[in-house]
Chain A
Amino acid sequence: MPEPIFRLDNVKKRYGHTEALKGVTFELAEGDFMSVFGPNGAGKSTLLKILSTLTKPSEGDIFFKGTPIKKMKDDFRRHFGVISHQPFLYENLSAFENLVFYGRLYGLKDVPARADFLLKRVELLARKHDRVRAFSRGMLQRLSIARALMHDPDIILLDEPYTGLDQHASLVLTGILKEQFSLKKTIVMVTHNLPRGYELASRIVVVKGGKFTLDSKKEEIPEKEFEEIYMQAVS
Chain B
Amino acid sequence: MGYFNTVFCIFRKDILEEFKSKEVVNSMLVFSLLVVVVFSFIFEPGSDMKNEVVGGILWMSFVFAGLLGLNKSMMTEVQGGNLQALLLSPVDPSSIFFGKVLSNFTFMAMVEIITIPIFTVLYNVNVFAGGALTASVFFLGTYGFAVLGTLFSLISVNTRTREVMLPLLLLPILVPVILASVQSLNIFVLGHDHALAYPWLKILLIFDIIFTAVVFAVFDFIVEE
A19 at the interface (CB under 8 A from B): no
Give, as a whole number of angstroms, the nearest-CB distance from B3 to chain A: 10
Tell me the chain B residues, 1-60 only, with Cβ under 8 Å from chain A: 1, 5-6, 9-10, 12-13, 16-17, 20-21, 23
A180 at the interface (CB under 8 A from B): no
Which listed residue, A56, A92, A102, touches B85 by the CB 8 Å rule? Answer: A102
Among B12, B86, B91, B93, the most chain A Cβ lie within 10 Å of the Cβ of B91
Within 8 Å CB of B158, what residues of A? none
Q: Are B16 and A93 in contact (CB under 8 A)?
A: yes
Q: How far is the CA of A147 from the CA of B81 in the complex (A)?
A: 13
Interface residues on B, range: 20 to 34
Give, as a whole number of angstroms, the nearest-CB distance from A44 to chain B: 15
Q: Are A86 and B81 in contact (CB under 8 A)?
A: yes
Interface residues on A, range: 20 to 34
Tell me the chain A residues, 71-89 only, with Cβ under 8 Å from chain B: 74-78, 80, 82, 84, 86-89
B172 at the interface (CB under 8 A from A): no
B84 at the interface (CB under 8 A from A): yes
Q: Total A-B residue pairs with C-beta atoms closer than 8 Å?
A: 80
Q: How far is the CA of A91 from the CA of B16 in the complex (A)?
A: 12
A55 at the interface (CB under 8 A from B): yes
Within 8 Å CB of A87, what residues of B? 80-81
A131 at the interface (CB under 8 A from B): yes
**A31-39, A62-70, A103-111, A188-196: which one contacts chain B?**
A103-111
Q: Are B82 and A77 in contact (CB under 8 A)?
A: no
Query: Closest residue of chain A to B92, judged by CB?
Result: A74
B79 at the interface (CB under 8 A from A): yes
Give, as a whole number of angstroms, the nearest-CB distance from A68 to chain B: 17
A90 at the interface (CB under 8 A from B): yes
Q: Are B82 and A88 in contact (CB under 8 A)?
A: yes
Within 8 Å CB of B93, what residues of A? 74
Q: Are B13 and A101 in contact (CB under 8 A)?
A: yes
Q: Are B225 and A93 in contact (CB under 8 A)?
A: no
Q: How far is the CA of A97 from the CA of B19 in the complex (A)?
A: 13
* Complex A-B: 20 CB contacts under 8 Å: A49-B225, A52-B88, A54-B87, A74-B93, A78-B90, A82-B85, A86-B81, A86-B84, A87-B80, A88-B82, A88-B84, A88-B85, A89-B82, A90-B13, A91-B80, A92-B21, A102-B89, A106-B1, A107-B1, A107-B90
Measured CB to CB, the residues of A under 8 A from B are 49, 52-56, 74-78, 80, 82, 84, 86-93, 97, 101-102, 104-107, 131, 147
